[in-house]
Structure 1
Amino acid sequence: MDRRYLAGGVLAALGTLHGCGGSDDAGPSVPGPSDPPRLACADITAAALGIPRLELAAPETVAAASAGNPAQSVPAHCRLQGRLNVRNSDVDGKAYAIGFELRMPDAWNGRFFFQGGGGTDGAVNPALGALTGAGATTNALSMGFAVASTDGGHTSESEPIVGGSLFGLDPQARVDYGYNAVGTVTPTAKAILKRFYGRGADHSYFVGCSNGGRQAMVAASRFADQFDGIVAGNPGFNLPQAAVQHAWDNQAFAAVAPRTGGDRPIISQAFSSQDMQLVADRTVAACDALDGAADGMIDDPVACKAAFKPEDLACPGAKADTCLSAPQVDALKKVFGGPKNGKGEALYADWPYDAGVATMGWRFWKLGTSTTEVPNSLIATLGGGSLPYVFTTPPTQVRGTGTQVIDYLLGFDFDTDAPRIFATTPVYTESPMSFMTPPDPTDLGTLKARGGKMIVYHGNSDPVFSVNDTIAWYQGLRRAHADAADFARLFTIPGMNHCSGGPATDKFDMVTAIVDWVEKGVAPASIPAAARAGSDAPWPARTRPLCPYPQQARYTGSGSLEDAKNFRCVTPAS
């Protein structure tokens, strides 16, 4: 079995070689007479840095460049690409390393930005510092942040569907993906920053959505000493449990899907686009005005749960365009109720009904568009590969050709297979729930004690990670810390799909909000948000305040429904 090269050892080694590296309780480090000299971009090598188990490609001096998409434009900067902990696996015989990229702008603002990943990672994305929300017109690098990204400790392979998950056969690669890549790259990047700029970062931030949001929550728990501010968007922090939901959904959809000549389900056709529009329209009709404004947005999902009854969608007779068949209603209730075992025990969260379930962003994840027996939804492809290889122990080797992945999902047993997300073996000594989730998501004592801040946001129409799971986390945090709102705030976003999209005001800036909270002590009482022209939102000029949970946006009773100034954040009556 592989020797484990974990973050703690790297931190200790870097602490010995380079001091604190910045972003600690004492503030940025100041060069002293014994500090090693600064390195120009062209002179940065692994030998010059003296960091153990580091390999660097030749550094690149990059000139400022504009792009058609301003979020892809770059300032003049130094670009480094490297690998840490290069090794060969004793389990699957393949080569592994933690790949990363670090970009350091010439005009540095003194801040470090760790860019979260997505999906099963497997590639080093350009470290530009993608901002949160949709429609960004810049990036963190252009704002002056030094930015790092990582591939999660593995490289995706070319096999269809499962190629991004084959690393799950290697136990160390699982751990690297779950948390160790972030824990290893962070101190390495900070040590390089100190040699390049001659001082450590004044403040350090972690920003990500989806799996990057999960990484952000893990960082808040495992690596809180490394970050001052954290933004976690649509976080799948219980990702193995959400992966169980993927099997649950596919089984529910398959039960009501039309069949091929070979009696195989065509899952995308279990619910047509018209069917899901009907669900969205009826949900809005029942719930829209519960928040005091008939504006096409459901700001009170708790009241909506009581007001909207999916049974009311059932056709009195044969299936028609204006109703759902009784089996479809049962499947809908099953999907939104969340997975359960044979005893009726919940295996993941339930889901709110919301206006965004009719969008292509929802369908792309849940149902897909394939008209064949091989589904193309992301829960059947990305989820279908990761559940057998990464999120259960021991991993199950499923080929990505033909119907093998969907057959695995349709055969998944919620009594015998689902517990494997908690299982270990002598080879796989950390369970998927152990390496993927924060050790205790509500224990943010270190972040709180050092004055760190955290913003979490989640779309109410997210089709892959339930906003109700994130709400349950925040409720637990408030029980554990009576002063939770002093260091962590949750913003739920009506209508928004996964990280963006949907009939929502999904254009917002969480990065400025977290910087102001960390550096100026200005806690976000609300965050301005806007709808975007050309998006799923039918009101392209609309603005709204995003409110910290449990507050909700309420119309003041006068003025345009399109203008945020006519709304305020209030705590609904319990």
Structure 2
Amino acid sequence: MSTDTGHNSSSGTAAWMLHEPERAIDWVHRALHLSVMAAKQVVAAYYYPTTQTGPHHSYSYYAGCSTGGRQGLAALQRYPADFDGVLAGSAIPWQTHTSAWHTYAALLQYPASRSTFIPADLWASLVAPAVLEQYDAALDGVADGVIMDPSRCAFRPEVLLCGKSGGGKANATSGDCLTRDQVLNLKRLDGQLINPGISPSGEAGFASLMNSAEPLFGPEFYRNAVYNDTDWDWRTMSAASVAFADAVNPGGANAYDPDLRPFEAHGGKVLHYHGYADPLIPSLNARIVGRAGDVDKFYWLFMVPGIGHCSGGVGAWALDGAGQGGFPLQVNGSSHSLLSSLVDWVESAASAAGNKSSAVSNP
């Protein structure tokens, strides 16, 4: 099943949440939960029309990416019996902080006349190659355009400074170096006070986030869901804005509760993945969900080199995950599919434990 989560809108706008707290709740978790309950009833009525008790469907699975990844995490935290397996990709568990980061990261980009502004074409033509030059082969000995573990990188953007050794020509108009102000702009993106900063990888895709008319997604969320004020100026974003958003937490948008014991007790399993080259959701957001005790029995996190946001990128990104456009796998089965791997994990564990001899009851 799938759901529109209670609203119909074009991509990139959150105007439907303006003065609509109930829609925010639907978007965050309620619409998915109620749709799942209805879907289970439909399955039971269609396939088992004469059975009032006893076996119905045996397993229920979820797959989602981006907002869908967050909704998957919210589901297993809030409704631990809804799914036996959850496949969550490129999730945004810290919605209020990631939306703030989207806004804050671009503050020195606007207007384009600012000395700190980095033109859209330089992300792919200048910044990304400089990052690869520093860390591609240095980390794994192979120059293949993929940074295997950006968490081990400490990118030094000073190498791009005009007039410096390795910084190209002595003036910024050539397009092969950055001014001092532009370098400072680039350095401030790698912070962790409000939200994990960008990992060195995927800079070629940053233009979509950093060079739109206004920052993507962040201002829309704050304007319509947090402040309920269409006149709110995103240029006023501050730590106080984030604290206010945390207090409001529209619809319960943050899904970072690390206590997953009810889901574990239900026998649930989680495969959580995030692309290291994600230009939209900094990859270290995936590590906000806590780890404690013997968590590997039911929760696995995979940080995937070279993958962008849900799909695409220079890495091997066809994982059979949500949001991958139905990209056909070259080999079927769990060796090439996260979804199949999740199914195998859930059902083999249940078979070994003997706790699925009878199927899940009709909700």
User: Shorter-chain TM-score: which interval?
Assistant: 0.7 to 0.9
SS at match of 1:416: helix
8 Å contact kept, 1:462–1:498: yes
* Separation (CA, whole Å) in 2 of partners of 1:277 and 1:489: 35
Aligned: 1:450 with 2:299: no
The one-letter code of the counterpart of 1:154 is: H
1:207 is displaced (CA, Å) by 0.5
8 Å contact kept, 2:96–2:242: no
8 Å contact kept, 1:252–1:334: no
* Separation (CA, whole Å) in 2 of partners of 1:210 and 1:413: 23
Task: Report the counterpart of residue 419 of structure 1 in structure 2.
Answer: 243
Task: Report the counterpart of residue 529 of structure 1 in structure 2.
Answer: none
* Separation (CA, whole Å) in 2 of partners of 1:422 and 1:195: 42
* Separation (CA, whole Å) in 1 of partners of 2:123 and 2:39: 49
SS at match of 2:229: coil
Match of 1:174 among 24, 36, 43: 24
Aligned: 1:491 with 2:302: yes
Gaps of 5+ in 1: 1-147, 260-264, 339-345, 369-374, 399-404, 425-430, 523-574
Please, what TM-score do these two structures have when normalized by structure 1?
0.52
Do the aligned partners of residues 444 and 299 (structure 1) sit closer, same or farther apart at CA in structure 2, a change above 3 Å counting?
Answer: same
Deviations 1:380-431 (A, max 9, x none): 3x433222111x2x42134xxxxxx8xx222x2304322221234xxxxxx3
After the TM superposition, which residues 423-572 of structure 1 pair with which residues of structure 2 at under 5 Å, given as runs? 423-424=247-248, 431-432=249-250, 435-438=252-255, 440-473=256-289, 476-477=290-291, 480=292, 482-508=293-319, 509-521=337-349
Do the aligned partners of residues 318 and 513 (structure 1) sit closer, same or farther apart at CA in structure 2, a change above 3 Å counting?
Answer: same
Match of 1:251 among 85, 100, 107: 107
The one-letter code of the counterpart of 1:396 is: D
8 Å contact kept, 1:280–1:357: yes
1:275 is displaced (CA, Å) by 4.4
SS at match of 1:235: coil
Aligned: 1:221 with 2:77: yes
* Separation (CA, whole Å) in 2 of partners of 1:366 and 1:200: 49
Aligned: 1:315 with 2:162: yes
The one-letter code of the counterpart of 1:417 is: S
Task: Report the counterpart of residue 558 of structure 1 in structure 2.
Answer: none
Q: Please identify which structure carries the higher helix content.
A: 2
1:161 is displaced (CA, Å) by 6.7
Aligned: 1:367 with 2:228: no
1:505 is displaced (CA, Å) by 0.9
Task: Report the counterpart of residue 206 of structure 1 in structure 2.
Answer: 62
* Separation (CA, whole Å) in 2 of partners of 1:315 and 1:471: 36
* Separation (CA, whole Å) in 1 of partners of 2:266 and 2:121: 49
Match of 1:186 among 36, 40, 44: 36
1:322 is displaced (CA, Å) by 2.4
Task: Report the counterpart of residue 83 of structure 1 in structure 2.
Answer: none
Task: Report the counterpart of residue 278 of structure 1 in structure 2.
Answer: 126
* Separation (CA, whole Å) in 1 of partners of 2:97 and 2:79: 23
* Separation (CA, whole Å) in 2 of partners of 1:301 and 1:499: 18
The one-letter code of the counterpart of 1:230 is: V
Gaps of 5+ in 2: 49-54, 164-169, 320-336, 351-363
1:167 is displaced (CA, Å) by 2.5
Aligned: 1:397 with 2:230: yes
* Separation (CA, whole Å) in 2 of partners of 1:414 and 1:383: 13
8 Å contact kept, 2:93–2:288: no
Aligned: 1:347 with 2:200: no
Identity percentage of aligned residues: 29
* Separation (CA, whole Å) in 1 of partners of 2:25 and 2:253: 8
Match of 1:294 among 143, 154, 158: 143
* Separation (CA, whole Å) in 2 of partners of 1:238 and 1:298: 25
The one-letter code of the counterpart of 1:309 is: R
Deviations 1:71-91 (A, max 9, x none): xxxxxxxxxxxxxxxxxxxxx
Task: Report the counterpart of residue 303 of structure 1 in structure 2.
Answer: 152
* Separation (CA, whole Å) in 2 of partners of 1:472 and 1:237: 7
The one-letter code of the counterpart of 2:109 is: F
Q: Could you list the runs of 4 or more consecutive aligned residues of structure 1 that deviate by over 6 angstroms after TM superposition?
A: none
8 Å contact kept, 1:258–1:270: no
1:176 is displaced (CA, Å) by 1.4
Q: Please identify which structure carries the higher strand content.
A: 1
Task: Report the counterpart of residue 93 of structure 2 in structure 1.
Answer: 237
8 Å contact kept, 1:366–1:464: no
The one-letter code of the counterpart of 2:234 is: L
Higher relative contact order structure (alpha carbons within 8 Å, sequence separation ≥ 6): 2
SS at match of 2:303: strand
Deviations 1:285-324 (A, max 9, x none): 111121233322111223222xx31122211243143211
Deviations 1:174-208 (A, max 9, x none): 11111111122111211121111115221001100
Aligned: 1:149 with 2:6: no
